[in-house]
Amino acid sequence: MQRVLLCLLALAAISCRGSEPSNVERSTSVGSGVRQTTTPPSPTAPRIVALGDSLTAGLGISREQAYPAVLQRKLKENGRVIDVINAGVSGDTSADGLRRANWALEGDVRLLILALGANDALRGLPVAQMKDNLQGIIHRARQRGIPVLLAGMEAPPNYGEQYAAEYRQVFQALSRENTLIFVPFLLQGVAGVAELNQGDGIHPTSAGAERIADHLWPSVEKMMGSDRAK
């Protein structure tokens, strides 16, 4: 746990950079690089959507190495031919995710992996605001009949124990109140492990992304059940 806290404290040291050209979206906090975007999927193709920040986008590695792509390969190996859409955008907060949720959830989405909140913590944003944003995303998914896998995060320790506890409780409350499948910490087994992180000590390497996919896989497999795209 101490190594995890040190890693999260390093995250908190990242600040907003200077201005960029208007055609570049600079990410801040988790994802200190050019903002990554996704290509709109076919509206009819069945798919899983991973909605997140740079930890989902795979900042510093290729999209084929990020955990959504690893999950897609695992699904294929297990006879489930379904696209896993990487809807991770570097620097996104829960509010950013809510603003693009309708677009992300269009079409034949079979599962939403919701992995947002890291940047809310790094900026010390109100936990009640984060909860409202995440609940809004969950509500929009539920309106479309899409099951949600909620992936939690941990707040850096520099905002104090009370903030960290309240932050953690948001994910617990959302999972309980919405009866969601819940993975308490997206970076379990990755945060604080030097060989699984890039030089910044924050973003997973390809091996770290595989570890995240392994961590999520039992829940994804359970939620997909026998569902196979035809």
Query: Which residues are known to be catalytic?
Result: 54, 200, 203
Interatomic CA distance for residues 84 and 122, integer angstroms? 27
Rg (C-alpha) for the chain, rounded Å, is: 16
Cβ neighbourhood burial of 100 (10 Å; 0-12, 13-18, 19+): middle
CA neighbours closer than 13 Å in the CB half-sphere of residue 53: 29
Interatomic CA distance for residues 189 and 212, integer angstroms? 8
Q: Fill in the amino acid letter for 45.
A: A
Tokens of 89: 């955008």
Dihedral sign for Cα atoms in the order 117, 121, 123, 126: positive
The three state secondary structure string of 27-74 is CCCCCCCECCCCCCCCCCCCEEEEEECHHHHCCCCCCCCCHHHHHHHH
Tokens of 54: 């740079």
Interatomic CA distance for residues 123 and 28, integer angstroms? 9
